Amino acid sequence: MRIKTTLWIAGSALLLSSCNSDKTTPGYTYMDDMYRSPAHQTYEPGTTKLPVDGTVPRGYVPYMIANTNEGYIESRANSAVPSYYATLDAEAGKELYGQFCSHCHGEKGDGNGILMQREKILGIPGYGADKLPDISPGSIYHVIMYGKNNMGSHAAQLNYEERWKIIKYVWKLRTDQTPGAAPAAADTTAAQPAA
């Protein structure tokens, strides 16, 4: 009888001593790896490191021209277009243009989109050379990246390729909107690798 009691007390003591008031640890454990992962935990000190300076995500093309008035003027002369721009089919950007630009600039690029008709946003230009004599594919890229006055930036909605598809389509609309212009005649930008 006494042996039984002693064993019972000893067993309970052993059992209790394996408990732990710290809720974040399992106390004494058998086969530790089952409880404590040997792998690093997310954000554990020493695991998460900042990328090396100058690292860019795959597929990301940095744009170095500043969001200033001087930057805008500079962008007009920026002829750094991707190598495929010259052979890009303008129609490839039509759908994207319809999703992101036509509600303001109009399906034809005449500046008469639905928001203009309803007078929600005013001062939207048509793309014709009479309205915007100085724009270039480089300056359109600039405006897509940073926006301009009442037009917001579209950099977050469009990736690099999509921006160029839209620009090609805008340039086609510009040609259509420019009386007397030969098709695509104004698009003299030579294909160069992007900066």
- Residues that bind ligand HEC in the complex, under the rule CB under 6 A: 100-101, 103-105, 115, 121, 123-125, 132, 135, 139-140, 143-144, 148-151, 154, 166, 170
Q: What share of the chain is helix, strand, coil (3-state, %, to 5)?
A: 40, 0, 60
- Smallest gap from residue 165 Cβ to ligand HEC (A): 10
- Report in angstroms how near the CB of residue 37 gets to ligand HEC at its nearest: 47
Shorter beta-carbon distance to ligand HEC: residue 34 or 156: 156
Residue position matching structure tokens 């917001």: 152
Which residue's CB is nearer to ligand HEC, number 151 or number 194?
A: 151
Torsion angle, alpha carbons of 133, 61, 63, 177, to 10: 10
> Rounded to the nearest whole angstrom, what is the least distance from the CB of residue 91 to ligand HEC in the complex?
15
Cβ neighbour number for residue 104 with a 10 Å cutoff: 19
Q: DSSP label at 93?
A: G
Q: Which is nearer to ligand HEC, 18 or 150 (CB)?
A: 150
Structure tokens at 78: 């920026």
